[in-house]
Amino acid sequence: KDPEVLRPIRSARLFTIELGYMFDGALVHSGANDQVRWLLSQSTLTDLDEYFHGAPYYWLDPEGAWKDYPWMGRVATSAQRVRDYLAAKGMEKTVRLAGFHFSGDPPEGEAVTYVHIPYPNRTIVEWQYDGDSAAYKRVVEGQPHTDALNGEQLAADNVIVHYAEYQETDVLDVNGAPTLNIVSTGEGRAQILRDGIMIEAKWIRPEREDFCKYVYLDGSPVPLRPGQTWVEVVPLEYQVTFE
């Protein structure tokens, strides 16, 4: 889909560089610390840093619906504006994208209708399965996580819990704290939820240019329900609760 508003446009992080390679995409962001900017300058990604590619392709809403957010939560763009900018600059291109494996027929799995992910206190996440829509509804800090554009609770047809190693690096954030790198190549554990069931699986991404695949433990692809998929990336030691 091409959303009319993409917000908030935040600063680039180490992990977003990896996602840029995985999606073969243009990286849309608003600044970065010096070390991440240097890494971006050494990459082959199309870098659309808002600091160097500004108005009218990005905008800041100082007095509107987002006025109560800090400034870094008010930088916005739209998919169409980004596409127009890429076309105007001669940077638009066809991308290679493998995508997921889908099937409308639910596979076998363990019955699960509730998920609790123990992120830090301000971002504790729960997913609650709604049988009428066959979708999982997102809850943050005990409250429905809603779309600011329409007030509807966010939902996904598939939820993937993706376990990865978090590494402390010498890249420092604006407060001087070390930035974490998330190891995103290789393979690791995954748990996939669809149609009220949970499937034990694993993720595989051999190289940074490869799209991440989710497969059964025997290596065959796990079919996702056609629709939207939300991936929750968690540290290896997290104890995620399923009911």
> What pLDDT, on the 0 to 100 scale, is given for residue 86?
95
For residue 147, what pLDDT is reported?
A: 87
**pLDDT tens for the chain, residues 1 to 243:** 788 888 889 999 999 999 999 999 999 999 998 889 999 999 999 999 999 998 888 888 766 667 777 777 788 999 999 999 999 999 999 988 888 999 999 999 999 999 999 999 889 999 999 999 999 999 999 999 998 778 999 999 999 999 999 999 888 777 788 888 999 999 999 999 999 999 999 999 999 999 999 999 999 999 999 999 999 999 999 999 999
**Identity of residue 98:** A
Residues 148-174 as b/e (b if ≥16 CB within 10 A, e otherwise) read eeeeeebbbbbbbbbbbeeeeeebeee
Q: What is the DSSP letter of 18?
A: H
Query: What pLDDT score was predicted for residue 1?
Result: 74
The values of phi and psi at residue 94, to 5°, are -80, 135
Q: What is the pLDDT of residue 63?
A: 61
Q: What are the angstrom distances between the C-alpha of 90 and each of 23, 84, 86, 215? A: 19, 10, 6, 37
